[in-house]
Amino acid sequence: MNAILSILLFIAIAVSTLDCIAAESITMQVPAGGSGVLRYSDPVTLAAGDTATLLYSSNTGTPLQLEVVIGLNTRSLIIYAPSHITYSGPITLSGPATIRAKTSNTSAEIELVTLSVNRANSAENVVPANAVVIPEDASGQFQVILESSTDLVTWTAANPGNYGGSTQKRFFRTRIVRLN
């Protein structure tokens, strides 16, 4: 039983870290500049399905904004103003969009904004523990089989549906068998 608990704990930890593995940290840098000149960081592009979460913005005492462009629409989100932080909690943006940090401060300081970006296509090769996959390039026919076990050793065919609590523990697995 301890082995089963260890395996389940390992799976839980592995699944909970998938987001961390797939995320990339991107720091946008707004260069220092002169009086009243609007300055921008390099853009970060989000494809459809991508998400970006604001992790950090520098605090040099000058207004700092995120400019978000979606299609033909441009919106500015003030993320720091001299008197207070204007957001509470995480800010998450979804693609498709282009994001830049911008400011018009007169400071000689560089402004920094860090985003955690999850790319939709970065999880293409990640298969959850509770899923089976027929490869896209596979040819032929496949049989998808649902099985049940009470001891994780002996497996018998099962049908989708309702199951009662008459058995103390019942495990299910899905597997694929190539027919030809």
Q: How confident is the model at residue 17, as a pLDDT?
A: 45
State the Cα–Cα distance between residues 37 and 91, nearest whole angstrom: 26
Residue 145 CB contacts under 8 Å (≥ 6 apart), including other chains: 157, 174, 175, 176, 177
Query: How many residues in total does the chain contain?
Result: 180
Q: Looking at mean pLDDT, say which of 15-19, 47-51, 138-142, 161-165 comes out highest.
A: 47-51
Contact 86, 79 (CB under 8 A): yes
Straight-line distance from the first to the last Cα atom of the chain, in angstroms, rounded to the nearest whole number: 38
Q: How confident is the model at residue 22, as a pLDDT?
A: 59
Position 29 pLDDT exceeds 60? yes
Position 2 pLDDT exceeds 70? no
State the Cα–Cα distance between residues 74 and 38, nearest whole angstrom: 16
The model's confidence at residue 5, banded by pLDDT at 50, 70 and 90, is very low
Q: How confident is the model at residue 102, as a pLDDT?
A: 84
Q: What is the DSSP letter of 122?
A: G
* Overall average pLDDT of the 10-21 stretch: 46
Q: Over the range 104-130, which residues count as b (16 or more CB within 10 Å of their CB) and which as e?
A: bbeeebebbbebbbbbeeeeeeeeeee
State the Cα–Cα distance between residues 168 and 14, nearest whole angstrom: 27
Domains of the chain (ranges; CATH) run 23-120 (2.60.120), 127-180 (no CATH)
How confident is the model over 75-108, as pLDDT tens digits? 887 776 555 555 555 688 888 889 998 887 666 6
Q: How confident is the model at residue 50, as a pLDDT?
A: 87
